[in-house]
Amino acid sequence: MRRLQRTALPGMLALSMTLGLLAGCSHKEEPWHLTNVTGHLPDLDFSLVSDNGKPITGEAFKGDTTLVYFGYTHCPDVCPETMARLMQVLAKLGPDAHNVRILFITVDPARDTPAALHDYVGAFDAEHAVGLTGSDRQIETLARKYRVAYQMEKRDPNGNYEVTHSSAVYVFDAQGHARLLGTDRDSPEVFAADLRRIIDDHS
């Protein structure tokens, strides 16, 4: 089985590099380990369906530091690896993890029902992780809003398929402002260090 891309697609890499340069030029405070996207991406704003089958909006997560990841439950490698790494991040946060939520937004709404998402995120962390789905149009619009690229690949003879997608993790502060962008190149240690700064800034 062909592995999915492990890093963000070219457009996301270009965005990350550009924002990194901007951040380096404009901030005199201690630099972030992750890419600083403050002021360059929209606030956390969506209207989708939660893994409990009920409608939910971005407003529901105000007050928490929120990590947003676009993936899908049939992903053979990148998604479970990313979720496992985020579990390591939460472990390193200790009590501060109480202030963090992980939103797993599917890029495969045809297969990822609320029930499927509930089982998937629950296998990692039912307390902190929430699965979100919606119509194809809703997912496409939201992905475009945050410059997330994904593409459904050719189906095999059994009708199965993979979805190539960006693997970035977006960090939103307690006010819902986009603050940081993490990738699989960022270790759990530095990820947790930056999250703790975000949490402390709004505690």
- Return the higher-pLDDT residue of 177 and 15: 177
Phi-psi region at 71: left, alpha or beta (left = phi > 0; alpha = psi -120 to 50): beta
Token duo for residue 26: 């404009």
Average pLDDT over the chain reads 88
What is the token pair recorded at 40? Answer: 């360059």
pLDDT of residue 156: 85
The larger pLDDT score, comparing residue 41 to residue 27, is at 41
Q: Are 32 and 180 in contact (CB under 8 A)?
A: yes
pLDDT digits (tens, 9 = 90+) for 153-201: 888 888 889 999 888 999 999 999 999 999 999 999 999 999 999 999 8
Domain boundary assignment for the chain? 10-201
Cα distances from 137 to residues 39, 46, 90, 120, 144, in angstroms, run: 26, 12, 32, 23, 11
- The mean per-residue pLDDT over the stretch 132-151 comes to 95
From 9-23, 110-124, 128-142, the region with the lowest mean pLDDT = 9-23
Can you tell me whether residue 99 is helix, strand or coil?
helix
* Confidence at 9, pLDDT banded by 50, 70, 90: very low
Q: Cα separations (Å) of 61 from 68, 103, 107?
A: 11, 10, 20
**Given a cut of 80, is residue 13 above it in pLDDT?**
no
Split at pLDDT 50, 70, 90, the class of 23 is: very low
The CATH topology of domain 10-201 is Glutaredoxin (3.40.30)
CA dihedral 37, 38, 39, 40 (to 10 degrees): 10
Question: Token digits for 47?
Answer: 């209207």
> Are residues 146 and 67 in contact, defined by beta-carbon separation less than 8 angstroms?
no
Tokens of 101: 């939520």
Place of tokens 């939660």: 50
> What tens digit of pLDDT does each residue of 59-77 get?
999 999 999 999 999 999 9
The dihedral built from the CA positions of residue 165, 167, 173 and 178, taken in this order, carries a sign that is negative
